[in-house]
Amino acid sequence: MTKVRTLVTTGKLTGALVGATIGAGAMIGAANAADTIKVGVLHSLSGTMAISETTLKDTILFLIDEQNKKGGVLGKKLEAVVVDPASNWPLFAEKAKELIAKDKVSVVFGCWTSVSRKSVLPVFKELNSILFYPVQYEGEESERNVFYTGAAPNQQAIPAVDYLMSKDGGDVKRWVLAGTDYVYPRTTNKILEAYLKSKGVAESDIMINYTPFGHSDWQTIVSDIKKFGSAGKKTAVVSTINGDANVPFYKELGNQGIKATDIPVVAFSVGEEELAGIDTKPLLGHLAAWNYFQSVKDPANDAFIAKWKEYTKNPKRVTNDPMEASVIGFNAWVKAVEKAGTVDADKVIDTLPGIQTPNLTGGIATVLPNHHITKPVLIGEIKADGQFDVVWKTKDLVPGDAWTDFLPGSKDLEADWVTLKCGNYNTVTKKCG
């Protein structure tokens, strides 16, 4: 099994025993440092985001275990260093600094919410380490020290709206943009509002609502959504609700009899893991937009699912999109380290663009110069067993766009860390911001 570094205090030691223990510990620590490559795991294991992030911690431990069975990396075993930032955004920065400066990890896999990612960015830049971020997000960012293996808006939000606008998606005319009150939903909805208006949607046909993390009383909001959808135009909800607030939200939809045939909900943060604890029968036909679903039939996916269930010793354990994004990021990092012949951050960062690794749905993910990747886009309908029936997908892989074309301050920006060496190059002024 994966070696996970832990620190346990079990009582008082005195005199010579303390000295001997410290001496032995120092020698063991030095040996470990020489014999292993440390990998940081920065995911919430408690608090409102634990419902989503705990599985990603387990995923990285699983991937490390699998890699160690192959002999590790550069002839060394990988050692996981796991911390719990506890859904506390400032604590993410503190724990990131601890991983990099104290534990000397070579790379960190972590964060879910954009506010947690924003919290740690200064740390990764200051200490020059590497973060792999595996969750869909609002874009509007490209940092040298971060690789974004989740979806940018053009790989999830925009295609989902396009689908709903189409006849196959219900020819939707009225839109509820419902999100948790933080940077990802607010920025994504700002992009979507601009996109909808560019498609001729009137402002009066767009309803925007935000709720705090962990929100539980949805009766009034769902009632408002129901009323908004009764104006005679086909209405849909685009949900950027995050974390455990999704459980009471979906339950209230069922309580008020909102069916997908009446007002479909397409979610960007609800996958198999979040649905595992919900009675999904009232939610049949509601949608999610991701780049991966467990239900996709592909030999690579079948093999991954089987190994995952064996590793967790739980035949009911599900997989989901951020897990696949973690797999892609981890495998890309391994390939880059092996190609560079070192875990040195600068050399690995320079090596990663152009690295290709299989995704789990039959395609190849390529790390792009803007530190995003290529991904398919899939729309899935919720089934009674908590899985998704894929009803639509893009014909080709979609390259992640760091800067949206639908906001005035972004449409002229380009991210390119290979040629331009810049994350926000202005194509009009020809200057790096």
Residue 273: per-residue pLDDT:
86
Q: Are 382 and 283 in contact (CB under 8 A)?
A: yes
Residues 19 and 100 in one domain: yes
Does 142 lie in the same domain as 38?
A: yes
Q: How many CB atoms lie within 10 A of CB 17?
A: 10
236 and 96 in a single domain? The answer is no
409 domain residue, yes or no: no
Domain that holds residue 261: 154-297+378-399
Instruction: Supply the pLDDT for residue 22.
Output: 37
Cβ 64 vs Cβ 24: under 8 Å: no
d(Cα 273, Cα 387) in Å, to the nearest integer? 10
Residues 348 and 281 in one domain: no
- Does 24 map to a domain? yes
Q: Are residues 237 and 89 in the same domain?
A: no
Residue 247 sits in the same domain as residue 387: yes
- Residue found by looking up tokens 């609502």 in the block: 209
CATH number at residue 46: 3.40.50.2300
Amino acid identity, position 329: G
- Which DSSP string corresponds to 333-402? HHHHHHHHTS--HHHHHHHSTT-EEE-SSS-EEEB-TTS-BEE--EEEEE-TTS-EEEEEE-SS-EE--S
Residues 79, 178 within the same domain = no
Q: 136 and 43 in one domain? A: yes
Q: Closest Cα partner for 242 from 375, 116, 351, 410?
A: 116
Would you say residue 428 lies in a domain? no
**Domain-embedded: residue 416:** no
Q: What local confidence, expressed as pLDDT, does residue 34 receive?
A: 64
Two tokens at 285?
A: 């036909």
State pTM to two decimals: 0.89
- DSSP label of 281: G
410 located within any domain: no
Q: 220 and 198, same structural domain?
A: yes
Half-sphere exposure of 374 (CA within 13 A, CB side): 21
- Closest by Cα among 163, 161, 153 to 392: 163
Inter-CA distances, 396 with 120, 167, 400, Å: 33, 21, 13
- Rounded to an integer, what distance in angstroms lies between the CA atom of residue 246 and that of residue 223? 16
Let me know whether 72 and 98 are in one domain. Answer: yes
User: How many domains does the structure of the chain reveal?
Assistant: 2
Average pLDDT for runs of 10 along the chain of length 433: 42 35 40 78 96 96 98 98 98 98 98 96 98 97 98 97 95 97 95 98 98 96 97 96 89 91 93 83 90 97 98 95 98 98 98 98 97 98 94 97 96 98 98 94
* DSSP state for residue 406 in the 8-state scheme: S
Taking the C-alpha atoms of residue 357 and residue 355, their distance in angstroms, rounded to an integer, is 7
Cross-strand pairs, 367: 373
The per-residue pLDDT for 146 is 98
Is residue 421 included in any domain, yes or no? no
Tell me whether residue 70 is in a domain.
yes
287 and 268 assigned to the same domain = yes
Q: Is residue 328 part of a domain?
A: yes
- Tell me the one-letter amino acid at 359: N
On whether both 240 and 382 belong to a single domain, the answer is: yes
